Structure formats: structure tokens, C-alpha cells
Amino acid sequence: MTSSAHSTANYLRIFYILLALTIVEVAIVYMHLPKILLVALLIVMAVWKAALVAMHFMHLKFEKRTLALIALSPFVLCVFLILMLMPDIFPR
């Protein structure tokens, strides 16, 4: 692992992005946007924030690929979980 990966400046840069995204998230909830647009924006920002935490704070960006695959596995399983429950959400 390189020292730049752990540099304090990089951590603080990520912190400011996370902070800004959180402020935007709360702000758009108060803006009375169309529901679909609001939900889409919120999900994009939540995934963005989660990815920043995983990549930089949990060092996934600088890790071996095996660990990244382990980290990815629950998301793949969750996609299957949603697909399997589709009949319940959209009954015939």
C-alpha cells in the first residue's frame, strides 16, 4: 500500500465530498421535486457516498482484487433477492 493512499489530505478531501453530498441530500428533500426525480437523485448520491467510504476509508481501491470480490458478493445476492421477490411486488 502506498503512503499516498493513506495521506491525510486525501482523507479530508473525501470527508468534504461526503459532507457536501449529505447537505445536498437534505436540501433536495425540502425542495419538493417530483417524486421519481427525488428518489433517483437520492439513490445515486447514497451509492456514491457508500462507494467513497468503501474505496477510500476501507481502502478497497488499493486492495487485492479478492477482497473487492468478497465485498461485491452481497450486492450480487441482493439483486437475486429482489428478483426472487418480484412476484410479491407485482402480483399477476
Partner 1 sequence: MSDVAAMHAGVEPAETPLTPESWGKLGMWLFLAGDAMSFGCLIVGYGILRYASKTWPVPAEVLGINLTALMTFLLIVSSVTMVLALAAIQDNDKARFKKFMGFTILGGAVFLGLQAYEWTHLIGHTLPEHNLSFSKDLFATTFFVLTGFHGMHVTGGVIYNSAVLAAVSRGRYGAKHVEIAGLYWHFVDLVWILIFTFVYLV
Which residues of this chain interact with partner 1, rule CB under 8 A? 6-8, 11-12, 14-15, 18-19, 22, 25-26, 29, 38-39, 42-43, 45-46, 49-50, 53-54, 57-59, 64-67, 70-71, 73-75, 77-78, 81-82, 85, 88-89
What CA dihedral angle connects 57, 5, 8 and 18, to 10 degrees?
-40
Cell numbers representing residue 66 in the block: 479478492
Shortest separation between residue 6's beta carbon and partner 1, angstroms: 5
To the nearest whole angstrom, how small is the minimum distance from the Cβ of residue 58 to partner 1?
5
Centre a 10 Å sphere on the Cβ of residue 56 and count the other Cβ atoms it contains: 20
The one-letter amino acid code at 58 reads: M
Specify the residue, 49 or 92, whose C-beta has the smaller distance to partner 1.
Answer: 49
Q: Closest separation between CB of residue 35 and partner 1, Å?
A: 9
